[in-house]
Amino acid sequence: MGREVSESCIDSLLIEMVSTYCNRFYANKPELAARRIEAIGYQVGHQLSERYTMERPRFSDHLEAIKFICKDFWSELFKKQIDNLKTNHRGTFVLQDNRFRWLTRMSIDQSPENGASEDPSIMADEKAVESMHLYFPCGIIRGALSNLGIPCAVSADISNLPACSFVIRIKA
Amino acid sequence: MIVCVAVVGHQNNPLYIQSFTDADDALKLHHIVHCSLDVVDERVNNPKKSGPTLNETFLGLLYPTENYKVYGYLTNTKVKFILVTTDLDVRDADVRNVIFQEVPCCIC
């Protein structure tokens, strides 16, 4: 397990993957592109969780597994831990990362240009592109949790960049 | 002497079984591995809460048969490693440290 690549390679690969799936493979079908990207993330998360849970003792309940995702898993992937974890104790968890590493290179164009009529559509486009980039980490989380025996659905929320929240809903 | 190593997936599906004896008892070893899966499930569902063994990955000696000893190891992702050995004077610590450190690393 000693091979390494540079982080800029990973960044470029992810950006290119999202762009290829959205613009070339499934050019006018963003739903399909999103599902494919999320499936790739699922595979990656599945295998990464196998590798990162090797030495540790087993988890006693769902909260332990989610805490593992927030601390060890996130540090291995992004060199930092999740900043905030909230739960409603009924199967929903919100993981908030105040500076999500893969979105730090993404520009946030907040200056209002001329013409208020153009703003909503441009902003909607930007939000759509940014949300495409979040399907991969959602898939990673979903794959990791299913390998630990917790089927769930994961969605992301980017109301204020560069902070990013992942909402995990455990399927009963 | 180790006679059989098995890796079993999380739905009790066999991923890898290899027996290391020359004799024709591969079927008997498969049967022993199959029976030991029940013991693993029992250990997981009824943990001995008195000891520090509640969430250990190494399950220890699962059960001794007439001339074999069976050891088990369970990962977080419910992948089970089963080891069948004929060594009668092997210690738990040896099995845990030597074998079950290396084998899971090879999988990842």
DSSP state of B13: -
pLDDT > 90? residue A91: no
* Residues on chain B touching A56 (C-beta within 8 angstroms): 57, 76
Q: Of A60, A147, A148, which has the smallest distance from its Cβ to B55's Cβ? A: A60
Higher pLDDT: B85 or A166? It is: A166
Contact B4, B19 (CB under 8 A): yes
Rounded mean pLDDT of A57-82? 88
Tokens of A52: 């990162």
Tokens of A36: 């494919």
The per-residue pLDDT for range B7-51, each reduced to its tens digit, is 888 888 888 888 887 777 778 888 888 888 888 888 877 766 544
pLDDT of residue B56: 66
Instruction: Decide if B77 and A57 are in contact by the 8 Å CB cutoff.
Output: no
pLDDT > 60? residue A116: no
B23 by DSSP, 3-state: which? coil
Domain boundaries, chain A: 7-170
Tokens of A46: 């599945």
Question: Alpha carbon A15 to chain centroid distance?
Answer: 13
The H-or-E segment that residue B69 falls in is strand B69-74
Contact A149, A66 (CB under 8 A): no
Tokens of B90: 């092997």
Neighbours of A60 (CB within 10 A): 11
pLDDT of residue A115: 47
pLDDT of residue B51: 45
**pLDDT more than 90, % of chain A:** 34
B84 contact partners, CB below 8 Å, separation of at least 6: B2, B3, B4, B5, B6, B29, B32, B33, B68, B69, B70
Average pLDDT, whole number, for chain B? 77
> Mean pLDDT lowest for which of A7-11, A49-53, B19-23?
B19-23
Domain boundaries, chain B: 2-103
Q: Which of the four pLDDT bands, split at 50, 70 and 90, describes residue A39? A: very high
Give the ipTM. 0.73
> How many CB contacts within 8 angstroms connect chain A with chain B?
40
Greatest mean pLDDT among A61-70, B13-22, B56-65 lies in A61-70
Q: Which of the four pLDDT bands, split at 50, 70 and 90, describes residue A118? A: low
pLDDT of residue A101: 86
Give buried/exposed letters for B32-53 (b at 16+ CB in 10 A, else e): bbeebbebbeebeeeeeeeeee
A87 by DSSP, 3-state: which? strand
Left, alpha or beta for B12 (phi > 0: left; psi -120 to 50: alpha)?
A: left
Note whether B12 contacts A: Cβ–Cβ < 8 A: no
Q: Which of the four pLDDT bands, split at 50, 70 and 90, describes residue A128? A: confident
A153 backbone dihedrals φ, ψ, rounded to 5°? -125, 135
User: To the nearest whole angstrom, how far is the Cα of A156 from the nearest Cα of chain B?
Assistant: 25
Q: Of B54, B77, B107, which has the smallest distance from its Cβ to A49's Cβ? A: B77
CATH topology of domain B2-103: Beta-Lactamase (3.30.450)
Note whether B75 contacts A: Cβ–Cβ < 8 A: yes
pLDDT of residue A35: 92
Contact A102, A11 (CB under 8 A): yes
Average pLDDT, whole number, for chain A? 85
Give buried/exposed letters for A81-98 (b at 16+ CB in 10 A, else e): bbeebeeeeeeebebbbe
Burial-class residue B68 by CB neighbours within 10 Å (0-12, 13-18, 19+): middle
Rg (CA), chain A: 17
pLDDT > 50? residue B88: yes
| Domain A7-170 part of CATH 3.30.1380.20 | yes
User: To the nearest whole angstrom, how far is the Cα of A37 from the nearest Cα of chain B?
Assistant: 23
Give B64's strand partners.
Answer: B69
pLDDT of residue B52: 45
Q: What's the predicted TM-score (pTM) here?
A: 0.83
Q: Of B54, B56, B108, which has the smallest distance from its Cβ to A50's Cβ? A: B108
pLDDT of residue B19: 83
